[in-house]
Structure formats: structure tokens, C-alpha cells
Amino acid sequence: MSIRFDDQVAIVTGAGGGLGRAYALELARRGAKVVVNDLGGEADGTGRSDAAAAVVAEIVAAGGEAMANGGSVADPEQMAAMVDHARERWGGVHILINNAGVLRDKSFAKMTTDDFEFVVRVHLLGSAFVTKACWDLFRAQNYGRVLMTSSSSGLFGNFGQANYGAAKLGIAGLTRTLAIEGAKHDIRVNTIAPTAGTRMTEGLFPADLFDLFAPEKIVPAALFLVSGDAPTNQIVGAGAGVVQSAHITLTPGVALHGDSLSPEGVAAAWDRITDRTAKIVPASGAEQAMLIGRMLMERGAPS
Ligand code: NAD
């Protein structure tokens, strides 16, 4: 076992069940001290239970070290207190897995603004709040590994999940900028887009596929992405042992000018504008502007 987390402290949010529990158990098995955060709600965020304490008991029974936290990721003060507590007890925090999540699926026509806001708050703002609570510490340590949790629903869309999809692509966007800002302090930030049989996907997955898509099959990709040698700024798909790399790509585009720089010109050039043959993956937003500049220079002086 060469990837280990001895002397490291990991926080896993939403770790009272499903994917978070699987991450927490394996992090602890590989030597990390783990904060198991979960308020123990139902899939839609209602209700409370001591799910986090049950996972801590499993870790301790297996010889590991863990503490439970029943705070909500949607509450920045509770999250700041959680990070302070971990730092006071164990001297630092090195790994954060933002995994907590809820669902309130409905077609956009039927979705209330409250359901939209609630889901965005837990997933997107929750990921930002917990990461913010760790950020100064990561910078001071010159070390931090953050794994966010996106979804194919955010990256590619899914009927009935406008709230969830908006939050999940927002999380990928948060990843991009934090990876850039964290680089000089060796803070690496990645996103996983899992596909797993959990209570969140009950009813969506045929029961006989649950074993094939067990949460444990996501764990290898997740743990690599928070290891010392992790890459940064990656969006990684994982499910049933298949590991993928997702990208937001850009076509070279077409430089329009004069009469062609008109709605009609865009319509006429649409096939070339959307031709993905020579697509690229910009490493930052600035790169898109640089590519535009390069294209204009190749074409000659802009008019
Ligand atoms: P899950 O419901 O088993 O796990 C989510 C956990 O988050 C629950 O234990 C829940 O109590 C906890 N939680 C909810 N709100 C919280 C809050 N405010 N504060 C703290 N904890 C809270 O489902 P899962 O499938 O294990 O989901 C884990 C993550 O993976 C989620 O972010 C989910 O959106 C994402 N995801 C899952 C799949 C999949 O196929 N299972 C696909 C794409 C994304």
C-alpha cells in the first residue's frame, strides 16, 4: 500500500453514508485521522440522525482514529468551528472532501425557488463554506488537497435537476479557480463526478446494478485525487471501476469582421464555429482571451 495518509487529517462532509462513508473508511484505513461530518438527514435534507457517529464507531472498531461532526455544510459558522476543532485536536487539516449533498428533483416548471435555493446552498455554497474554513490553514501549511463533488447532471444536464445541475457545474467552476489560486501553496483542487449505487440513486439504478456500482468502486479515484501526488484542476468521472477525465473544451472559432461580423455572418459560419476537430482545453480563462488575440494576429490587424 504505497498511497498512505499517516499524520494527515481529513475532513469528509456527508460521510454518514454512501460515498462519503466509503471515503472516510478507506482514508482511516490508510492512516488518516478523519472528521466524519454529516447531519444525518434524509435524501431531501429533512430530518436528523447520528449517522456520523455510527461511521466513527466503524473506523474506531477497525483501529482507526475519527471524530464525528453533526454540523451542516450550509452553515459557515458551524463549518469554521468544525475546522477549528480538528486543528486544535489533531494539529491541522490536510484533506477536505466536499461530498455532502441533497436532492429535490422536479422539472423546472414545477420546482419552487425554495427548492432551487436549498439545493444550491447545500452543494455549491456548502462546498465553498467548508473550503473557505480550511483555506487559510492550507495556505499557512503550504499544503492542502480538496476534492469537490460534481455530477454528470451538472456537466452534461439531466431532466428534473435544474437546481442540482446548476450547483454541480458551479462546483466544477469553483474547482477551476481555487486550483489556480491555490497552486503556489501546493493546494490542489479537483472534482469527482461519481456514478454509484447509493440511496441518492435508489430508484434510478436497477437493483441488480447496485453491486457493480458500489460506492467502494469510486474510492480509488477519490483517494488518488487527495494524495500527495494528486494532479490539480481535474474533473474526473468514476463509476463501477471506470475512471474518466472530463473537460470543458473550446473550438478555435472563426474570426468575423466587416460585413461578416453580423448575426447573418454568425449564422453562415455556424458549422465552422462549432467544428470541434481542433478543439482545445484552456488551462485558465485568460487562455481563451489569448487565443482570440492569436487568431486576430494571424488574420492581420483587427478591423
Ligand atoms: P447520500 O445521500 O448517501 O450521501 C449524502 C450525504 O450528505 C448524506 O449522508 C447526507 O446526510 C449528507 N448531507 C446532506 N446535507 C448535508 C449538510 N447540509 N451537511 C452535512 N451533511 C449533509 O448520497 P451519495 O450518492 O453518497 O452522494 C454523495 C455525493 O455524491 C453528493 O454530493 C452527490 O450529489 C454526489 N453524486 C452522487 C452520485 C451517485 O451516483 N450516487 C452521482 C453524482 C454525484
Domains in the chain with CATH codes:
9-246 (3.40.50.720), 258-299 (no CATH)
- Write out the E strands in the chain: 9-12, 33-37, 65-69, 95-97, 144-149, 187-194, 235-239, 242-246
- Residue 207 binned pLDDT confidence (cut-offs 50, 70, 90): confident
The model's pTM: 0.97
Q: Decide: 70 and 52 in contact? Cβ < 8 Å.
A: yes
Assess whether 164 carries a catalytic annotation.
Answer: yes
Minimum CA distance residue for ligand 1 atom 15: 101
- Residue 303 binned pLDDT confidence (cut-offs 50, 70, 90): low
- For 119-156, how does the pLDDT look when each residue is reduced to its tens digit (9 = 90+)? 999 999 999 999 999 999 999 999 999 999 999 999 99
- CB under 6 Å to ligand 1: residues? 13-14, 16-20, 37-41, 43, 45, 51, 72-74, 99-102, 122, 126, 149, 151, 194-196, 198-201
- For 235-267, how does the pLDDT look when each residue is reduced to its tens digit (9 = 90+)? 999 999 999 999 999 999 999 999 999 999 999
- Give the list of residues 6+ apart from residue 18 with CB closer than 8 angstroms, or none: 196, 198, 199, 200, 215
Q: What ipTM was assigned to the predicted interfaces of this complex?
A: 0.99
| Cα–Cα dist 74/129, whole Å | 7
Minimum CA distance residue for ligand 1 atom 24: 18
| DSSP state for residue 91 in the 8-state scheme | S
Torsion region of 227: left, alpha or beta (phi above 0 gives left; psi -120 to 50 gives alpha): beta
Cα of 258 to ligand 1 centre, how many Å? 52
- Give the list of residues 6+ apart from residue 270 with CB closer than 8 angstroms, or none: none
What are the b/e assignments for 93-132, b being 16+ CB within 10 Å?
bbbbbbbbbbbbbeeeeebeeebbebbbbbbbbbbbbbbe
Residues making up the chain, counted from first to last: 303
Question: The dihedral of CA 73, 175, 59, 92: what is its sign?
Answer: negative
Among the listed residues 164, 167, 175, 219, the single catalytic one is: 164
- Give the list of residues 6+ apart from residue 223 with CB closer than 8 angstroms, or none: 3, 23, 26, 27, 30
